[in-house]
Structure 1
């Protein structure tokens, strides 16, 4: 896919964006209404099916724009896992993808059809099942992590705080606790939600408790005196997940950076204004979903256009969107990609 010219990929992605409303209308008639199993329990219309179609098209468009077939495959494996919790078999998703292609087909050139079908929509059933990941060596904080996870599931923030404080006092650094306890627990919470074993409300409770515990731990550690420069950590417009970027901001402060943490869903103009006033040497931008990568690209372009090269801060990106697209940071104008907190520390050392 990378051998296809960038402008051809971008043109095709823009065409899919334009066609999306018409394609969804066709799919609603030809697929959603004929497959009642795609409805949520108690749902009387095709709202959920239409939402699924919009997600499929958006992830397809983004993967085409950046030339990353594997990203779309990962999305399909995740979707298959979620559908299984709704007792919807593999072949329904495959039929769904076929309907998307048939709806797009009249509007595509022969070369565009080849790209869409060959690189993205011709997915064997084996390609929809989750891949096994290599076993990791057990962390010294593995027991703390398991107990912390149970506290999150129980909704017990006081127990979670006690466990985290004990981990911090056991000669472990704040970075260790953030990565090995908080991050790993939240990954498992996400997996439980995907498999329909916990509700959205329980997932939100777990996130809120973790943020509460982070705030408590922050007061227990003395930051280094600011000596390494100024930095801004932010999410982009539409980004709703801030816990990862919050950890980054905390860690950088502990290591001697003067940090301004903006949170998430920040208008680009507000970010540009703060860069002008604060004059940072570093800007870190977080994105959770691949769909937000084009927005990150636009923000980076705005930063470079508004500030001359001598005043342009170093721009780093991170978050699960970029873990799925580890090489895309170069294409969107970033200086580096931090896979996790430890990678970030290495990049800035």
Structure 2
């Protein structure tokens, strides 16, 4: 990230509490009907939403990527629509936020921040920007697996997967054609308010259990002499995606040292020194986890004994803004497990 972008992002972060309060006051003053429509609880929810807006805006400004904020705006609008909340409310909210930024930021910072807000407002005004995301087509097995999970039938779902493996379907194919698309579908169902948080957590936990049942197949591959350390960014509790990628490496003969979620930087550095891997894989699930990924990379690069370690990143923000991996200082990024394997071979060969 350039120093100017960092300064603007840091200023936004420092002023966030004051700017949030001003934004709420202004949006309610400009839209007096909100008080009657949403009541006191609605105002508190508005405060939470404003903090979310700022979290994504700060990271977009710091990275210089309008795509990150635009994607968040589209996501937020779809969530609101499924809850029967009008698009004009989010538009009014972001417009008020922009007015507050205008009043509080020096001109050089305001221009940089306003560019992202203008882009997000344009997304809301553009019909194409509000189009429903295309659904992935699930295979028949994936459809059955998802249906069983949504009915709470975890054991039957796992039995279905085990039957496929027993009849010769490769475990990698189960990961790519069942687990991965089903998890994406579950996320979309929650986003559209069609399943609860509890259901989403249940389905994710069930898939983690199903993966563990396949480990005899995962860990039986001949070793190739390479080692991977993988983890989520500090503060990121969404570990399933990076765990799937780690399992892919294991199936290719890598020795993997999976640290799980929310690992502090000092613990990560200690693990790297103990394990001496050929590659480090860092994952970020949400845009506001990206700074933690960057901080981890900077810490690794600053350590004399680790500075030459190859680092790969992955996760939703990096798929959304495809140059973001370079800005955080990584050696590369991958969109999925198969691509991660192919890139890893190139990186460790250098």
- Would the TM-score normalized by the shorter structure come out above 0.5? yes
* 1:222-241 alignment runs, 5 A limit: 222-241=219-238
SS at match of 1:284: strand
SS at match of 1:283: strand
Contact 2:219 2:250 in 1 (8 A): no
Corresponding residue for 1:71? 68
Taking the aligned partners of 2:161 and 2:37, their CA distance within structure 1 comes to 41
Contact 1:38 1:48 in 2 (8 A): no
1:318 to 307, 314, 319: 314
Q: Are residue 243 (structure 1) and residue 240 (structure 2) matched?
A: yes
Q: Are residue 19 (structure 1) and residue 40 (structure 2) matched?
A: no
Contact 1:241 1:288 in 2 (8 A): yes
Which piece of structure 1 moves more, 261-270 or 219-228? 219-228
Which piece of structure 1 moves more, 218-227 or 191-200? 218-227
Contact 2:269 2:300 in 1 (8 A): yes
Q: Are residue 287 (structure 1) and residue 284 (structure 2) matched?
A: yes
Corresponding residue for 1:342? 338
* TM norm structure 2: 0.90
Taking the aligned partners of 1:45 and 1:74, their CA distance within structure 2 comes to 24
Q: Are residue 263 (structure 1) and residue 239 (structure 2) matched?
A: no
Taking the aligned partners of 2:180 and 2:135, their CA distance within structure 1 comes to 17
* 1:123-142 alignment runs, 5 A limit: 123-124=121-122, 125-126=125-126, 129-131=129-131, 142=139
Corresponding residue for 1:278? 275
Gaps of 5+ in 2: 346-350
CA separation of 1:321 and 1:167: change in aligned 2, threshold 3 A: farther
Taking the aligned partners of 2:219 and 2:105, their CA distance within structure 1 comes to 59
SS at match of 2:214: helix
* 1:147-226 alignment runs, 5 A limit: 147-226=144-223
CA separation of 1:150 and 1:38: change in aligned 2, threshold 3 A: farther
* TM norm structure 1: 0.90
CA separation of 1:63 and 1:276: change in aligned 2, threshold 3 A: same
SS at match of 2:228: strand
Q: Are residue 110 (structure 1) and residue 110 (structure 2) matched?
A: no
Instruction: From the two aligned structures, give the one with the greater helix fraction.
Output: 2
Corresponding residue for 1:327? 323
2:53 to 50, 56, 61: 56
2:79 to 82, 93, 96: 82
CA separation of 1:199 and 1:165: change in aligned 2, threshold 3 A: same
1:10-60 deviation per Cα after TM superposition (whole angstroms, max 9, x unaligned):
111111111101011112323358424785xx8636221111000101101
Give the deviation of 1:236 after TM superposition.
Answer: 1.9
CA separation of 1:168 and 1:75: change in aligned 2, threshold 3 A: same
Corresponding residue for 1:7? 3
- Give the aligned length: 339
Q: Are residue 29 (structure 1) and residue 35 (structure 2) matched?
A: no
SS at match of 1:270: helix
Which piece of structure 1 moves more, 200-209 or 111-120? 111-120
Taking the aligned partners of 2:133 and 2:196, their CA distance within structure 1 comes to 25
SS at match of 1:263: coil
Which piece of structure 1 moves more, 225-234 or 164-173? 164-173
Contact 1:223 1:255 in 2 (8 A): no
Gaps of 5+ in 1: none
Give the deviation of 1:345 after TM superposition.
Answer: 1.7
1:147-179 deviation per Cα after TM superposition (whole angstroms, max 9, x unaligned):
011011011111111121233234332221112
SS at match of 1:198: coil
SS at match of 2:76: helix
SS at match of 1:223: coil
Contact 1:175 1:341 in 2 (8 A): no
CA separation of 1:213 and 1:325: change in aligned 2, threshold 3 A: same
